[in-house]
Structure 1
Amino acid sequence: MSPIKQLSLLYEAVNNSDTFSNDDVINGQVVVEVTKEVTIQSLYVKFKGESQVCWSERRNDRTYSYTAHDRYFKFKQYFIQDPSKKGSEDPGVILSSGEIYSNVVKPGNHIYPFRFQLPQGNFPPSFAGVYGSVKYILEVTVDRSWKMDRTEKKEIIFVPRFNILHLMVYLDVPYASDPEIKFPVTILSSGNIYSPGQNQPPFQPHGNPNAPGWNQPPPPQPEFRPGPSGTDFGPSPGFYPGAYPSPVCTNSGDPAPPPYAALYPNPNPAVPDLNFTPSAPPFNPQFAPMVYPNLPAPQQNPVPNFPEKHE
């Protein structure tokens, strides 16, 4: 069982969104807990920003894979350093000064503070996609003789502060050179629009409290009121006016409305003495109905026979 019980990496956030930008300072601690005395060859923390991409293309029934890697910066701070490996750092690594501790670590908890400042530069923001990623990582490593290294990592979300910002759109055309289009993009504060020459206020993560109408109560809304007694609940009259007025229900105790005939009389009234009885004579059973005799069918003359022909 390893004598190193715990290895953790902690850092202090600089804002509520837990993001970092150019010139921000990362203050943190490395916590090492050991159960018995142990000898450590080297203990260090590094902070790096890098990007990598990987994609495949198929041509002529063959698949070609491509990868690329780019490093923006790499800082390193030692807490325990092996004298034999001093000066053997990779090119481009910036060593941060700090206190060097003994390589013999006693049982208990040990805290090693560190401090990194993000450099200036147009570094891309943190990103993770299918074909690539941009990451800014804090990593602590414990190196022990004849033992596998033990590491812990934490990713830092980096949001750059852009001044000139340009977006590049690439159009992939087979068997042709890739055309490139560049156009400027202006980033505005949320909820505000400014002309390019107008000074813009600093970004407010939760809105601009000085903007007009900020933190003001909403305008009063018409409330729903029940109709007269005995009717269904609904909005007050005139709340949603329509093209045709809806009928209004009244209480059972109210007088009945006048009949329709009283309000809209017939302009063509009937004559009092006008008789609408049909003028056909009544049926008298003593007169028998007229019977028509059956006429015989006409007789047809028989077809005469022709005399036989004798030779």
Structure 2
Amino acid sequence: MASVQSCNETLYFPDRGKEGVSEWARSRKDVLVIDCDSTVESFSGIMYRNLSLIIPSSSNNTNSSMSEGLQLNAPVISFTFYPNIKRQLISPVEIQFQLYNNLLDNARCSFWKESKSETSQGYWSDEGCRLKKYDKDEGVVMCICDHLTNFAVLMSPSLKPIEDGHKEALSIISMIGCIVSMFCLVLNVAIHAFFWRFIKSVRYIIHMNLSCWLIIAYILFLVGINRTENKAVCTAIAVLLHLVFLIVFFGMLAEGCNLSYTVLEPLSTIKPGMPLMIWSYVLAVIIVVISMGCITGYRDMETNRHAGLSMIRDYDMGPFFSSGFFVL
């Protein structure tokens, strides 16, 4: 902590030339720089080494993807003028932070804002603060703010884009996996068709429908995964994939319910399998129609070149193509 009774020049906090500054503070690059005027009688500042276990890392950012996993990645610097300046500062305050962990990314200049609610301590806000410099090699972040308070830099794990070579490898793996799954599904349908007169039942009708819809899903995926240049085609494929996988989901649910009923009521003459299969189609269509009419997901795809398809293509498709083996 430091306090000076005169304030008529550029101030640096902490002033490493003064006595009483700890060796930890002297060895770091953290510094707050601000111009002072004659209306200020004194100032004080505190640099907190670690408040991550005391103050939460919650923020006011409405973007959940940016707010997720935020961490305090530098000391918290508190600085105040006396008497408090109600008007805007003559010049903005610059704060340089030396980072604790250089593996984090997405630096956000923030200050602690107390909450008026009794159920909340407060949150980190970025109002009036902006990022001026982020040097990852040196592990330094510089922020500019238009007010004085408790300053900090919040960062989150880096989400690095997949390299082109890895994308191509993942695409090849996904394509091979889908083809293998389609082969297994076709083999499954052929075996059921060959032995149909021996195994004819509602259960296997549902099973055959499930296999056929999965084959259609793989065909749609392989044909449409790269058709992202045309907005209408891209949206249509996304809608069809949504519908097909909903039918698959409800078909699996119908098969499970029918099997459970058969085990629990072996002497019953009621066969709920066919009504359940019909309802699987009805519910899937209802959900897709509601999504098209009320939810903006499909409309957002029209303004997004990837339309959700390239993202699926570029990442692991293991759970997707493993369903072929599951059905077989």
TM over 0.5: no
- Under a length normalisation based on structure 1, what TM-score does the superposition of the two structures give? 0.23
Rg (Cα) greater in structure: 1
- Under a length normalisation based on structure 2, what TM-score does the superposition of the two structures give? 0.22
Question: Which one has a larger percent strand, Structure 1 or Structure 2?
Answer: 1
Question: Which one has a larger percent helix, Structure 1 or Structure 2?
Answer: 2
